Structures are given as structure tokens and as C-alpha cells.
Amino acid sequence: MALRGRNHKPKQNTRSYHFTRLSNVGRVFFCLIFKFYIMLKMQINRFNDNGKQTTGYGLVINSKNEVIYSFVTLELPWLNNQVQVSCIPIGEYIVQKRISEKFKKHFHVKNVPNRDFILIHQGNTKFDIQGCILVGRKATFVNKDILIDISESRFVMAELVDLMPSEFMLEIKNVNDYEVKK
């Protein structure tokens, strides 16, 4: 290739707009638009309530109804929606991102009947819950009691906060013919 002049540089293609060439602000803007159009929602499927705790699994679902992320959940048992001792009723809720000193980045479940400040946050055992929902990677036994715990909660919470938009829909339902004791 013949060069014209001593300081000649090959002409770069300035029409290429790759994601990696975007500034940090551009990447954030792109991700916000991408999340808006994908319309992610969260679904929590409860499958066991033993009277001491409720276990389940969560899914993040895109607008094509494809599961793009999964995790396990731990909640208090169903005790007629009593404050700080019961899980919340099945149904659909609006959820917003929230930051607090205690839980750092987490989610706030809005419009729960007769309840305030129901959160989705990190934690490992039933004793980390006062009506909220814990998320983790897998069900396991962390302490010496006979109750199921969850592991890697901090990592799952961080991934969910990064993945989910600032506001989204949450559907909570019972699966596998499991019925809430009434």
C-alpha cells in the first residue's frame, strides 16, 4: 500500500456505531431503551408452604415470554397477610427499585393490600424476613435448624438490580397444585 505523505493515516470508517464505541452515557441510554422495549417482568412461583416458611422460584420473563433469568425465593408462611409474620397474597404488583442503608439496592413491592414496605432483598434464612421476599441462587441449609435456607443472595440481588428496569410488574402465584392453607 502506497502512502501519500509522511503523516498519512488510513481513513477510519466513521459510520460504524458499535455498542463498544459508545460513551458511558451512551451505553446507559442504550440499556435503558433496550430494557424499555423488552418489557421485562418478574414471576414468583410458590411451591411449598410448610407452616414455617414458603419456598419458591422466581423467573425474569421478556416480552417474547422467554425466561432469561431464574432464582429461588424464600418467604414467611401464609398467615392471612398478617404484618411481619405472613407472606403477601398471590396477585400482580408494581415493583420499583429502591436504595436503603440496610439493604443497599433492592426492590419495593407496591400496593400490597394492608401492608407497607414489602421488599425483595438479600438474605439467607427465615430469620432475615419480616414479610419480605428473599432471593438466592439455590436452596440449601445454612444454619443448624431444619428449615431450608438460600445461598448467594447478595450476588443474585445485584444481578436482578442490574437486569430489571426501574419499575416492572411482579406476578406471584402458587404452582404444582399447591394451595394456601386457609
Q: What CATH number did the domain enclosing 47 receive? A: 2.40.440
Tell me whether residue 35 is in a domain. Answer: no
Distance CA 123, CA 129 (A): 8
Which residues contact residue 166 at a Cβ distance below 8 angstroms, ignoring those fewer than 6 apart?
96, 97
The pLDDT value recorded for residue 91 is: 95
- Identify the domain containing residue 77 by its residue range: 40-174
Could you read off the pLDDT of 144-156 as tens digits, one per residue? 788 888 999 999 9
Could you read off the pLDDT of 116-126 as tens digits, one per residue? 899 999 998 88
The pLDDT value recorded for residue 125 is: 86
Tell me whether residue 86 is in a domain. Answer: yes
The pLDDT value recorded for residue 181 is: 45
Tell me whether residue 122 is in a domain. Answer: yes
* 131 Rama sector, left if φ>0, alpha if ψ -120 to 50, beta otherwise: left
Is the model's pLDDT at 16 over the cut of 50?
A: no
Query: What's the 3-state SS for 72-136?
Result: EEEECCCCCCCCCCCCCCCEEEEEEEEEECCCEEEEEECCCCCCCCEEEECCCCHHHCCCCEEEE
Tell me whether residue 141 is in a domain. Answer: yes
* 57 Rama sector, left if φ>0, alpha if ψ -120 to 50, beta otherwise: beta
Tell me whether residue 19 is in a domain. Answer: no
Q: Quote the pTM value.
A: 0.75
Tell me whether residue 34 is in a domain. Answer: no
Could you read off the pLDDT of 25-82 as tens digits, one per residue? 555 555 555 554 458 999 999 999 999 999 999 999 998 899 999 999 999 999 999 9
What total number of domains does the chain contain? 1
Q: Three-state SS for 148?
A: coil
